[in-house]
Amino acid sequence: MILVVDRRDSVLRHDSGVLCLEREGGETRRAPINQLELVVVYGNPLAETAVWRKLAAAGVPTVLLPVRGRDGAAVLGNGLATQLPLRRLQHRRAAEPARALELARWILAQKLASYDLPLQPLRRRHGADEAACAGLLRQRDRTLAALATARSRDELMGLEGQLAHAWFALLAKRLAPAWGFTGRNRRPPQDPINALFSLGYTLLGAEVHQGVVAAGLDPSLGFLHQPVPGREAMVLDLTEPFRSAVDHFVLDWIAVDGPRQADYYYREADGCRLSKTARPGFFQAWASYRHHWPYAVRLDPSADWPASTLREQIRGQIERLRSAMKTPEAPS
């Protein structure tokens, strides 16, 4: 269950394992914490400190989204698990240049392999022709082959950036002009598609963050992303293979009714945002999608892989990373 707090006159309280969402002059909504999987908060509602403590203790990630301004989202969760052997292994591998680069290649290869997924709704829902999609996949395959000769993380990120640019350029050509999408932009997003991408990536990142800290990994130390103060490089690393599933979701969701001006608003300082009236539909669709999250990367492409929950797939990805760090070489 996802709890969305979207009214500034709301008050969040905790009562015996239950979150109570109160509004002045309105009814109280009650949500048992043991049934919550994600809490999303817009703006500045009042909340008892016990709310954040209980959510953290239960391992429920909370995303604090700004309503105005260019501030990014904040993610609240539990503290690092005390699995020192795994964290020590992570730091040891990060300090070994050759092994760190191999692990970065392994992470990036999974992201590149996942580009097949969002092409499905682009063809089915938005009329992209086979030639254009095949061209992107040929570039993807060339990029995958080039990973083997990359000698630094900067080279790897450069290869990834070229393919990402090609993907968003393809979207700009194939999406209806009414969407106003000309390429990826953010902080703030300038059009509805970028607004939805940013919101989806933020929600995904919150769940990956929860998985990382629950497993005992150091969220600040990655293999593909450089450690930078204030940036959770390991969370970014483990988010990469799942991003294409967010693109798949957005492309599928917008095709239901098409662009409606009332569903979005734009301000110079805030960029483009999903309107308050449209948010419930988005979160309802997102809640269903995360319970039937498609496998972007299949370990055995010939096998029939039924969709599973996002949380289960994140745990599986972390276990594969754990195994990759333990082996002499990262798996292909």
Residue-by-residue DSSP string for 15-39: ETTEEEEEETTSPPEEEEGGG-SEE
Q: What is the pLDDT of residue 299?
A: 47
Which is higher by pLDDT, 167 or 294? 167
Instruction: Indicate if 45 and 88 belong to the same structural domain.
Output: no
Q: What is the pLDDT of residue 188?
A: 86
Instruction: Indicate if 270 and 139 belong to the same structural domain.
Output: yes
- Would you tell me how many other CB atoms lie within 10 Å of the CB of residue 19? 25
Q: What is the pLDDT of residue 322?
A: 92
Does 221 reside within a domain?
A: yes
Q: What is the pLDDT of residue 79?
A: 65
**225 marked as part of a ligand binding site:** yes
Instruction: Indicate if 99 and 54 belong to the same structural domain.
Output: no
**169: confidence class by pLDDT, cuts 50, 70, 90:** very high
Instruction: Indicate if 189 and 45 belong to the same structural domain.
Output: no
**48 marked as part of a ligand binding site:** no
Q: What's the structural domain count of the chain?
A: 2
Which is higher by pLDDT, 9 or 54? 54
Can you give the residue range of the structural domain that contains 6?
2-60
Per-residue pLDDT reduced to its tens digit, 206-263: 999 999 988 889 999 999 998 888 789 999 999 999 999 999 999 999 998 666 878 9
**298: confidence class by pLDDT, cuts 50, 70, 90:** low
Q: How far apart are CA 92 and CA 217, in angstroms?
A: 12
| Mean confidence (pLDDT) of the chain | 87
Residues shown for the chain: 332
Query: Is 332's pLDDT higher than 70?
Result: no
Helix and strand tally (H, E) in the chain?
A: 11, 10
Instruction: Indicate if 109 and 155 belong to the same structural domain.
Output: yes
E strand or H helix at 236, and its extent? helix 233-239
Instruction: Indicate if 125 and 50 belong to the same structural domain.
Output: no
Which is higher by pLDDT, 300 or 39? 39
Instruction: Indicate if 12 and 103 belong to the same structural domain.
Output: no
**46: confidence class by pLDDT, cuts 50, 70, 90:** confident
Boundary-marking domain end, from 27, 60, 93 = 60
